[in-house]
Amino acid sequence: EVQLLESGGGLVQPGGSLTLSCAASGFTFNKYAMGWVRQAPGQGLEWVSAISGRSDITFTADSVKGRFIISRDTSKTTLYLQMDSLRTEDTAIYYCVRDWRGGITGIISDWGQGTLVTVSS
């Protein structure tokens, strides 16, 4: 069974930093692209960033480009999202997601339960 367990969310002040982690299990980690999708309170979905199974391709939304970095560690089967210069508009639930292939196809086959990031002074 595929399991994606996010951690690292919390309250941070504007301008601050946070790193999200997603511990993956139940599948061969380096054979699947992964990503982060966020959902602001009561709002829709936004795909923030994606990374291929081999880490050779990454995509990042313009809204976070230059501030967020996605990475993965195959030995730890963990996905990361380093978030710097956080803004109030980054407040959201951040979902760790698994693509259904090793390349970034954009089809999300599995979702974690999400971790809440709140940016507020």
Find residue 107's DSSP bridge partners.
none
What's the closest the beta carbon of residue 104 comes to another protein, in angstroms? Answer: 8
Secondary structure, 3-state, 53-82: CCCCCEEECCCCCCCEEEEEECCCCEEEEE
Return the structure tokens found at 79. Answer: 């996905």
Instruction: Compute the Cα dihedral for 76, 82, 71, 109 and give only its sign.
Output: positive
By beta-carbon proximity to another protein, the closer residue of 16 and 59 is 59
What's the closest the beta carbon of residue 101 comes to another protein, in angstroms? Answer: 11
By beta-carbon proximity to another protein, the closer residue of 16 and 21 is 21
By beta-carbon proximity to another protein, the closer residue of 11 and 107 is 107
Using CB under 8 A as the criterion, which residues of the chain lie in contact with another protein when the complex forms? 44-47, 50, 59, 61-62, 95, 100, 104-109, 111-114
